[in-house]
Structure 1
Amino acid sequence: MPRQNIATTACDACRRRKVKCDTQQPCARCQSAGLVCRTTSVPRKKGRQGATATVLQELRKSPAQTEALSTPSPRDYGRSGYFIRSPGLLTPIVIQSCAEYFFTRMLGTVPILLPALFQTHVDHMAESLHSYCLVCAFCAFVFTQTGYASWHNPANPSSTLGRSLLEEAMTARRHLDPFTAPSRLSITTSFLLYGCQIGMGNQRQAYYFLREATTLYTAGILDQPGTGVDEDPGSLFWLLLISERAHAIRRHRPITLEITPDSPVLDDTHSDASSVGFRCLADLYRPFNQSFLSHWNGTETSFSKELLIQLEEHLRQAVPADIELPDLLLADLRVSQQWLRTMIWQLATTAGFLSSTPSHPCLDIRYPLQIARELSLATWKLSRESMEAHGVGLVRSLIRRKSSSQAEKRKVEKIFEITCTFADVMACLSQSRLRASGFDLGPQDYLKHLCTLIHGLPGGDTKFLPLLLAKIGQTLPSMLAPLSRHLSLPLTDSAPPETETVSPVGFGNDWDKDFNWAEMSRIGDKTPELEGTLQFG
């Protein structure tokens, strides 16, 4: 069709769509969209004036455009204009492999999607940008949370593919209004993006999406029936509650979800391993409410030893020692249980409740030794595959960064917080107390096991083991050489020989003679070597 006169201003359709017009008559954009291209010089009122003021109304009326929208298209029109999908990124084999991995290994700890309903979103993602965004976020979640190897494309590592999928999901999300989708779909997408950002180490972005998910939940839009994408109506609430409270403890953030008589209840009629494991995980975090966080953040100081003892007893009962669950579920439960026990001990340390003759084991100065022992025994029994299923999440939990502020001093990341606290207490003991006795294992054995665990997990040897060795070199310099030999690492010139720790004098019993009170007073001090190494939000 030959071009006609050239206009001096953009046509009406391009102006309403806020896209660049080539000022031809008709313009290229109107031709491709099947719209009537006209330019009027009559001033028009601002805002929408009837059905013809919305270009989408004209697009819907166009038979050619209706047919185009019903077929798979790489372009989606949203509130911010067209979104162009990246070709060859979200392939069927990527979706299939991620779904198999998630529903086989992760559903017990992240019960947020059913396989059948996820497949429904896969089937509709060609015409639904909401579904496409969810599937992208789902696959990115699997890659970024687990370090799952991209076996279908060895040239594209899982970290690179996970980052690309996350960028695709984030770009698609910017074209969507979360309130135009079913409520649970929006919440699920927000949660998956939260997990992706956690896996990438973007703590600020992660908190944004976690807060968005909990805010959407508390907004009351879940009252709409028939919009669920989770198996148990209560599982979404408890998954958000667990994630929010764990994040609040690590990052000293506020929480929005509280347990009330009207809160959803997990269905206890299911006896399958996934349901039992998730109920135990929810029970672990149940008492860590705003009242605890007020004590933890230092805004409330009027609490007693009895409160900490009650929390400790609750943690022990929430996950019985003889519970029979698959290794994949036990790995997450045991790590979370021992981490929360460490949090209680740290709070007791801040409050000055620790004693050499405590009324309860959790108030014992040496309590982290017992926690490290139980964690080591638990992980020794678990298969390596069960630990790698939580891969980056577990390794990332092995980081503790200290700083001069009170909040930064207690910034923790699960297992490494246990390990660092364990190393701090080990530094207070004499060399004789660190070694094994007879057939019993000693603290040195547990420390070697935890270092081996970090060394063997994906990314641990390159990113996190050097930080751990730097920490040990500062608190336990005599352990650097044996640890390096144990891990088959080259010895550094700075590794000092093994020497006996000099015990303090002036105490009246054998326990006091083997405990270095000067070292105990330094627990929680700033660690210059680790400061600034990790960039957390």
Structure 2
Amino acid sequence: MEQQAQKRVSKACDACKRRKVKCNGQERCQQCAHLGLRCVYSPSNKQRSQGKRGHIISEFRNQTANANATSPPILPANSGHGMYQPSYGAISPPIERNGSDATASPSSPFPSQYSKSFFLDLIPDYVEGVYPVQPVISEHELRQYIQVMDTDQEVRSFIYAFGGCTLNLTRYGENRTQEVVQTIEHLMDCSIDSMRPARKHFHFSVMRAMQSMFIHNCLMSLQGSDAAFFYMRDAISIIQLLRIDNVENAGNLTPPERSRRQRLYWQAYIHERFLAILDYRRAILPPLYTLPESDPTLPLQVHEGFNQIIKLFRLLDTEFLNSWLDSQGGSVTSTWVEAKSRELEGDPEADARELANLSMMQRADLTITREWLRTLVWRLAMGQTLLSSRSSKECLSLLFPVRLSQTLRQQVSSMSRDDLEVHGSSITQKLFEITDTIADVLIHVPAATLDETALRIDDFLFILDFVLLFPQLDQTRRGILLEKLERLQTMFPEAVSNASSPNLPLDLQSPGVTDPWYQVTQSKTAAGLEDLADVQVPIIEIPRAEARVGQLATWNHISKRLTMATFGTT
């Protein structure tokens, strides 16, 4: 009896008092443990307030948080009105599950961190910058989801991922502040923490697959490549559970829904193939039996642009990936290289007509992806010593990256940075691969004349400057490019002279036999290995008198351009 009396007189904690709910009086009561609140017992006898329940939890969380910093509001790129202001110092601690099913309650561990208006105001950015390249969840669906997110945990968990991905792909340049990056990561974490685990009666859906795709997108930009791979495979698992690749099953769906699921499948296919190249991982999704069917609910421009990018990534077939992942180069021959290059070239006239109907954002993605794929093919050929400076075929020419740098400079000059950065980390990685390859050729394959060298250096510095400004470029890849810039700088020190005898440096020679790139300059055909022959790379002769003065001026111009190229080092 005495024990029962003691239980009745044990007082409630501050949070339970204010919310007017039952408290078990423990050191950390059950209610606070469930909601992730600090459990505080104050001696105060003040009258309890009569505020709203959701407001009280939020207010109490802010009062008991240790951090004082508050971030500025994160506004949509296309919105001019105020938004809810998230606090980065008041992020909730992990939920204590205590062995119970934490998904039983519809309450979110972050009930009022972001309001509905926060997510509704992101929709215009999503429609403009995310949906054209990930055309699965429509604007209408998003609005429906946001309306019910307070009462449906699965929907709420998805909406967090939608918000993080939208900010990730639409905040670039000066708009990508540290506060924005923190918000992206916090929304992603909210989505992961509130995601229902797969239990016996796991509910899989298109929405759930896209949630993992959105999380994958955020992690790629946050340099979490291993976790990004995990969520990519999670999305693929759900896609396989949906049996999208089953023709009979697809026939039972309405045409718009069938097309939407086909787009989901191809989106995962594209992302997985990209990861296979980027991180040397195996791909498990085969190509779908068809391209996405026409969908009257999808803008024609989005449909055509998405199908074009699918066609490019279909070139990364099993043979291509096996050759890329095989350190010995697999079955790469000059015949294979030429055939793959012809596929990439396509029909210039037809391609031009198709591009004319697309937005600049879509054109930028297609253009850079095509040049990236051409670079990959060239690198496979290089690995098998199929290249020659004497080849009349561009795909087998040792100087292909040099010509590519000229083309790429013209292309990016006609694009806005926004049209490129909206594609996130994927476009950054592609541009890195291209730029890195160009740098290697500049370092190891001398030009015939100093004037030609000056042109090559100028094109390279333009592209390098362009790539180093991408915020998604990680420090490792940034360091690789800057290291190669330093290598070029040491190759062209400033030359001094007296009036009669210019001191022109003499190290512009063909690669020596100890240089691994020397082996690249040997040529072999598809029929078999030809006799190895040295490639005759022209050696710059030392000119006399006034000609030497002109050479000296060109040399010092190159040296000055390289010396002044200090971008990205601060």
TM-score normalised by the chain length of structure 1? 0.68
Q: Which residue of 1 aligns with 2:399?
A: 366
Q: Which residue of 2 aligns with 1:114?
A: 138
Deviation at 1:143, TM superposition (A): 2.5
Deviation at 1:102, TM superposition (A): 1.9
What does 1:209-358 align with in structure 2 at a 5 Å threshold? Answer: 209-222=231-244, 223=249, 225=253, 232-259=260-287, 261=289, 263=290, 265-267=292-294, 272-298=300-326, 301-317=330-346, 320-321=351-352, 323-324=355-356, 325-358=358-391
Deviation at 1:88, TM superposition (A): 4.4
Deviation at 1:429, TM superposition (A): 3.8
Cα distance change, pair 308–267 in 1 and its aligned pair in 2 (3 A) = farther
What does 1:76-91 align with in structure 2 at a 5 Å threshold? Answer: 79-81=101-103, 84-91=108-115
Kept after mapping to 1: 8 A contact 2:149/2:155: yes
Cα distance change, pair 431–352 in 1 and its aligned pair in 2 (3 A) = closer
Q: Secondary structure at the match of 2:163?
A: helix
Structure 1 distance, partners of 2:197, 2:325, is 38
Q: Is 1:504 aligned to 2:510, yes or no?
A: yes
Deviation at 1:109, TM superposition (A): 1.5
Q: Which residue of 2 aligns with 1:402?
A: none
Q: Deviations over 1:233-277 (max 9, x none)?
A: 42111111111111111112111211254x554439988332222
Matched letter for residue 450 of structure 1: I
Structure 2 distance, partners of 1:479, 1:271, is 53
Cα distance change, pair 128–314 in 1 and its aligned pair in 2 (3 A) = same
**1:443 aligned to 456, 463, 467, which one?**
456
Quote the sequence identity (%).
18
Q: Is 1:428 aligned to 2:441, yes or no?
A: no
What does 1:154-233 align with in structure 2 at a 5 Å threshold? Answer: 157-174=179-196, 180-222=202-244, 223=249, 225=253, 232-233=260-261
What does 1:366-515 align with in structure 2 at a 5 Å threshold? Answer: 366-395=399-428, 397=429, 414-430=430-446, 433=449, 435=451, 442-458=455-471, 465=478, 467-475=480-488, 477-478=490-491, 501-504=507-510, 512-513=537-538
Structure 2 distance, partners of 1:178, 1:317, is 49
Q: Secondary structure at the match of 2:189?
A: helix
Matched letter for residue 346 of structure 2: Q
Deviation at 1:110, TM superposition (A): 1.6
Kept after mapping to 1: 8 A contact 2:223/2:474: no
Q: Secondary structure at the match of 2:346?
A: helix
**1:99 aligned to 123, 132, 135, which one?**
123
Kept after mapping to 2: 8 A contact 1:355/1:363: yes
Matched letter for residue 503 of structure 1: Q
Kept after mapping to 2: 8 A contact 1:473/1:480: no
Kept after mapping to 1: 8 A contact 2:129/2:170: no
Structure 2 distance, partners of 1:480, 1:162, is 45
After the TM superposition, which of the residue ranges 181-190 and 418-427 deviates more from structure 2?
181-190
Structure 2 distance, partners of 1:254, 1:309, is 25
Matched letter for residue 462 of structure 2: H
Q: Which residue of 2 aligns with 1:4?
A: 4
Cα distance change, pair 375–122 in 1 and its aligned pair in 2 (3 A) = same
Matched letter for residue 341 of structure 2: E
Structure 2 distance, partners of 1:465, 1:392, is 13
Matched letter for residue 394 of structure 1: I
Matched letter for residue 279 of structure 2: R
Q: Deviations over 1:272-321 (max 9, x none)?
A: 33222211100001121222211111177234322222211111228835
Cα distance change, pair 381–219 in 1 and its aligned pair in 2 (3 A) = same
Q: Deviations over 1:55-112 (max 9, x none)?
A: xxxxxxxxxxxxx99xxx9999994456643254323443134321121123222212
Q: Deviations over 1:182-221 (max 9, x none)?
A: 5212211111111111111111101111111112212344
Cα distance change, pair 235–181 in 1 and its aligned pair in 2 (3 A) = same
Q: Deviations over 1:355-383 (max 9, x none)?
A: 22336311111111122222221111111
Matched letter for residue 316 of structure 1: E
Kept after mapping to 2: 8 A contact 1:140/1:162: yes
Structure 1 distance, partners of 2:117, 2:237, is 34
Matched letter for residue 374 of structure 2: R
Q: Secondary structure at the match of 1:187?
A: helix
Cα distance change, pair 150–167 in 1 and its aligned pair in 2 (3 A) = farther
Please, which runs of 5 or more residues in structure 2 have no aligned partner? 8-21, 35-52, 59-91, 495-502, 513-520, 522-532, 541-570
After the TM superposition, which of the residue ranges 471-480 and 277-286 deviates more from structure 2?
471-480
Matched letter for residue 297 of structure 1: L
Matched letter for residue 350 of structure 1: G
Q: Which residue of 1 aligns with 2:500?
A: none
